[in-house]
């Protein structure tokens, strides 16, 4: 496909939140782009080849259990030249899906809460399609509020958010329930959850997962002191 460095471009947006989808689609259309919206990856696959977009913009985790990362892999298999932009609530893809490794290294990754304007969103589109340095959309205050977790903790946190029980976590990780209980205590401490309070630590952990403040780092972070 021939891609003009100026656009307009054909964009396939995959987002299950109707309000977010409407805001993003309308914003991109204001720049003259041809945008169609799918509310889930399976729907997007049905229209992808015929629409033949310049850019695929996709969330990662969907209520249907489908993975945006798998959709991206599908798109790149059938159209290796298609540009990719991830628009996620999470600062690290491992917090959203189990198959984050399917996301190509040249994909532009934007965090929804850090996108403050349509212009910032469009900057990501241009970076994805034309190339060049992507402007950081995170402000200093966001960076100070970050909670850093390991990849292992991210996997456990994502499964907690999906409703996994302690036994299910143990089966998934091929370990004992007692080992998972110890892992959960370490996770809660890393997240800064006060285990001496009456708050349910699982609920608190899921709330932090939803907040978009958690980021995955290569080295295991230190546990925070008990409050």
Q: What does the pLDDT read at residue 135?
A: 45
pLDDT confidence of residue 68: 98
How far apart (Å, rounded) are the C-alpha atoms in residues 226 and 79? Answer: 50
Tell me the C-alpha distance between 205 and 97, whole Å.
17
Q: CATH 1.10.10.10 in the chain, residues? A: 146-216
Q: Which residue spans within the chain are E strands per DSSP?
A: 10-14, 34-38, 55-58, 83-88, 108-111, 147-149, 214-216
The answer regarding whether domain 146-216 maps to CATH 3.30.565.10 reads no
Q: Which of 72, 96, 73, 98 is nearest to 85 (CA)?
A: 72
The stretches in the chain having pLDDT less than 70 are 1-6, 132-144, 219-227
Compute how many other C-beta atoms are within 10 angstroms of the C-beta atom of residue 5: 8
Residue range 10-138 forms a domain whose CATH class is alpha beta
Q: What pTM does this model have?
A: 0.85
**Distance of alpha carbon 52 from alpha carbon 41, whole angstroms:** 15
Give the pLDDT of residue 71.
Answer: 98
Residue ranges matching CATH 3.40.50.2300 in the chain:
10-138
């Amino acid at each position: 496909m021939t891609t003009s460095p100026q656009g307009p471009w054909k964009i396939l947006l995959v987002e299950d939140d109707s309000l977010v989808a409407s805001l993003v689609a309308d914003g991109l259309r204001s720049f003259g782009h041809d945008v169609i919206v799918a509310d889930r990856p399976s729907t997007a696959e049905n229209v992808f080849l015929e629409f033949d977009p310049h850019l695929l913009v996709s969330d990662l985790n969907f209520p249907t259990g489908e993975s945006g990362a798998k959709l991206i892999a599908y798109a790149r298999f059938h159209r290796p030249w298609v540009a990719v932009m991830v628009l996620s609530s999470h600062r690290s893809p491992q917090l959203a899906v189990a198959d984050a490794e399917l996301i190509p290294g040249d994909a532009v990754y934007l965090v929804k809460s850090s996108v403050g304007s349509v212009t910032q969103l469009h900057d990501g589109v241009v970076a994805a399609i034309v190339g060049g340095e992507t402007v950081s959309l995170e402000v200093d205050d966001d960076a100070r509020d970050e909670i850093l977790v390991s990849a292992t903790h991210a996997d456990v946190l994502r499964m907690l958010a999906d409703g996994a029980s302690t036994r299910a976590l143990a089966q998934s990780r091929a370990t004992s329930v007692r080992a998972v209980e110890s892992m959960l205590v370490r996770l809660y401490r890393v997240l800064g959850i006060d285990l001496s309070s009456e708050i349910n630590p699982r609920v608190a952990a899921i709330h932090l997962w939803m907040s978009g403040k958690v980021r995955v780092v290569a080295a295991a972070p230190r546990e925070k002191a008990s409050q």
